[in-house]
Structure 1
Amino acid sequence: MKLSHLTLTLATTPLLSASPTPAYPHPSRSKYPGLDILAKRAGLLYFGTAIDNVVLNNTQYTSIAHNASEFGQVTPSNGQKWMYIEPARNVFNYSMGDAIVLPAIAHRQLRRCHNFVWHNQLPDWLTTGNWTKSELEGILENHIRHEAQHYYGECYAWDVVNEAFNDNGTLRSDIWLDTIGPEYIALAFRFARKYTRPGTKLYYNDYGIERINNKSLAVAAMVEDFLSREEPVPIDGVGLQAHFTAGTSPGYENITRVIEVFAEKGVETALTELDVRVKLPDSSEEMVQQAKDYADSVRACVDSESCVGVTVWDFWDTVSWVPDTFPGFGDACLWTANFTKKPAYYAISDVLRGD
């Protein structure tokens, strides 16, 4: 049974036992409560979605995105990244982040804020500057200070550092590592704790760590190092992005095992960017496999005491990042282009119901 999680505002209820579920919807399932309602009943803190600014003019989309019974948590997929928040040095623009965060507050949805530090989507002024170590440390602290204080108290959690490791477990060469050194990660977490509201969950977030491998073990070693220092580095969680391909996802056992590894190190986990892409054009067989992979991933979180929630990386195929990044693949989300719920949606519902 999943233990209740300490939260800022919400209580949870005991877990319903979970079991494998059929992939296709039964007519009676149209009467199911939303995914977030079911997730809370199953002992999770939330079931959430990422939202991108490019689709905020679509009222059908936003009515689902800010339906708190479906999604009790929201992540701005792009609007809080460095290139949009600080497009020029010491010039801050929060309009894109606010466009997602403010409606989420109004609809009483938790916010997972994303992200302070990444190697990607950085402004030219930052990447082309010839900074000294001390200069870049100052820029890093200044950025985190301003963004954290603007969203002070409005974020349940922050992805403090995103994708700092290579697949082989070494640290990624980027402006942060090459100029500051490996300690930039610990510095970012210390700055985040300094400027966010007490109780805000601070996460390291990455892809490809949903099974035991060189990368996930390197992240686990970092967590152990951070928490064992004389002055511990404040880290509360590890985000498993969970970008999968139908038929080759890690599966229930692998995801459960890696969650246990992070729990043993003393941090919570979450599936932070879940989607399951398929080869195009899709088929009924691929939809069955996609539903199974989604359901197995969610079930692994539900069955693990330290996994607090699941976020899908948007829910509507039309705005998925997948086709542009993985040519020939797509249809990775829970709603089709015409806003029809897929078999994967109902498979997740069944897992959360314990059917």
Structure 2
Amino acid sequence: MREHRRSTPRLLTAALAAGLLAGAALTTTATAPPAAAAPQERPSVQSLDTLRDWAPRQFRIGTAVAGGGHHTSADYPEPFPNDPTYRAFLADQFSSLTAENQMKWNHIHPEPDRYDFEQADAIVDFAEQNGQVVRGHTLFWHSQNPTWLEEGDFSPEELRAILRDHVETVVGRYAGRIQQWDVANEIFDDAGQLRTQDNLWIRELGPGIVADVFRWTHEADPQAELFFNDYNVEGPNAKSDAYHALIQQLLADGVPVHGFGMQAHLGLQYGFDGRMQANLQRFDDLGLATAITEIDVRGPVGEDGQLSPELRQRQTDWYAAALEACLAVEGCRSFTIWGVLDEHSWVPGTFPGQGDALTLEGDYQRKPAYCALQETLATGTGHPGRDRRWERISPRLSCAADRG
């Protein structure tokens, strides 16, 4: 029996949201259950002050919607279903949402004969109410699979049927409502070799299953753009070369591959790959859409949980450089920050002693990295969606005064 529970969140009042966006400390909380809301009216040019307002036309600035995964064992209620301030910020700041964990296998398909769509439905509904698109994440991955799947005694034929049913059920449910799907996630290791051992599907069904999952996804939703997605592919290297070669082969075979996503989980200790634009461009040259899908920039933090001023400046520069690289490539029209507040980030739990990876303080105050993104969106050139009026009104950026 499949669950079809639905929960549609409600925005804060306009006055509260305005105070939040100005960086004011919030003292008001809301405890009423969320309710449906009409689509939010966007502000006038004179009051433009958010990332989504400054983005070029047809360019999506996004974030991951915090929920599932590590949030279920954290010392705070899951942010999206429980925090109206958080939801108001999502609605105002971003034009694209990605389910951080709520569409992964272990969350949406927890038992063999049961799908749980409650939180995924709520995200998609919320996005539509607020004029946002959704990136679906993810259908085919070696991680965060449910125990019943990883430890089940299934024949190859049964596994193939399970995968196809999952794709048809999940993608079909949101057909026409998801802009982009991360279909195949992290299928190569850093040496550019297929994950033939830790990826259940490739190990048991062979490499040809990759083409099949793209075909099934396209059949379930012909309107969605279908992506490969991975980390450590910012520049040309063994892993990104492997994707480049595989995608050319799949395209030659008529497989519906439409995009390539760079996660860009960056560590300040490793250096910034200045070839990001060139690498995005070579996938663009294949006729693909490209995207920065999961960016955060982490580093070693002090007892206060923050980077040093020097590292924060480097972080600021890297965020801006990544966005500039995307804006410079015609087909790169989506840039997603992997979260809103550091207290919700996956980074500290995965990389002990590191953090401060996102663009806002815990009270929604803007870090220099946020201001760099806003300024880059407002003053950058070269993207086909650029409206020249932004350059004339850029002094109205609130961050301009903050950064002197």
Q: Give the structure 2 partner of residue 311 of structure 1.
A: 336
Tell me, yes or no, if structure 1 residue 45 matches structure 2 residue 70: no
State whether residues 80 and 97 of structure 1, in contact with CA within 8 Å, keep that contact through their aligned partners in structure 2.
Answer: yes
Structure 2 gaps, min length 5: 1-45, 68-77, 381-404
Structure 1 gaps, min length 5: 1-29
Match of 2:263 among 226, 230, 241: 241
Q: Give distance in 2, aligned partners of 1:134 and 1:187.
A: 14
Tell me, yes or no, if structure 1 residue 321 matches structure 2 residue 346: yes
Moved more, 123-132 or 202-211: 123-132
Tell me, yes or no, if structure 1 residue 153 matches structure 2 residue 153: no
State whether residues 176 and 223 of structure 2, in contact with CA within 8 Å, keep that contact through their aligned partners in structure 1.
Answer: no
State whether residues 175 and 223 of structure 2, in contact with CA within 8 Å, keep that contact through their aligned partners in structure 1.
Answer: no
SS of the aligned residue for 2:297 comes to: strand
How much does 1:122 deviate?
Answer: 0.7
Match of 2:288 among 258, 261, 267: 267
Q: Give distance in 1, aligned partners of 2:228 and 2:125.
A: 24
Which fold has the larger relative contact order, with Cα–Cα distance below 8 Å and residues 6 or more apart in sequence?
Answer: 1
Q: Give distance in 2, aligned partners of 1:149 and 1:341.
A: 38
State whether residues 191 and 238 of structure 2, in contact with CA within 8 Å, keep that contact through their aligned partners in structure 1.
Answer: yes
Q: Give the structure 1 partner of residue 31 of structure 2.
A: none
SS of the aligned residue for 1:311 comes to: strand
Match of 2:83 among 58, 62, 79: 58
Match of 1:183 among 198, 202, 208: 208
Give 1:108-127 correspondences, 5 Å limit: 108-127=131-150
How much does 1:337 deviate?
Answer: 1.4
Report runs of 4+ in structure 1 exceeding 4 Å deviation: none
Q: Give the structure 2 partner of residue 256 of structure 1.
A: 277
Relative distance call for 1:201 and 1:249 in structure 2 (3 A) is: farther
Moved more, 30-39 or 110-119: 30-39
State whether residues 76 and 101 of structure 1, in contact with CA within 8 Å, keep that contact through their aligned partners in structure 2.
Answer: no
Q: Give distance in 2, aligned partners of 1:343 and 1:247.
A: 19
Letter in 2 for 1:200: A
How much does 1:96 deviate?
Answer: 2.0
State whether residues 246 and 286 of structure 1, in contact with CA within 8 Å, keep that contact through their aligned partners in structure 2.
Answer: yes
Q: Give distance in 2, aligned partners of 1:212 and 1:180.
A: 29
The count of aligned residue pairs is 319
* Identity value in percent: 35
Q: Give the structure 1 partner of residue 231 of structure 2.
A: 207
Structure 1 length normalisation: TM-score? 0.86
Q: Give distance in 1, aligned partners of 2:62 and 2:114.
A: 31
RMSD: 1.7
Tell me, yes or no, if structure 1 residue 88 matches structure 2 residue 101: no
Match of 1:101 among 113, 118, 124: 124
Letter in 2 for 1:201: E
Q: Give distance in 2, aligned partners of 1:65 and 1:81.
A: 21
Match of 1:222 among 233, 246, 252: 246
After superposition, the C-alpha distances for 1:138-160 in whole angstroms (9 at most, x for unaligned) are 11100001101111211011111
Q: Give the structure 2 partner of residue 8 of structure 1.
A: none
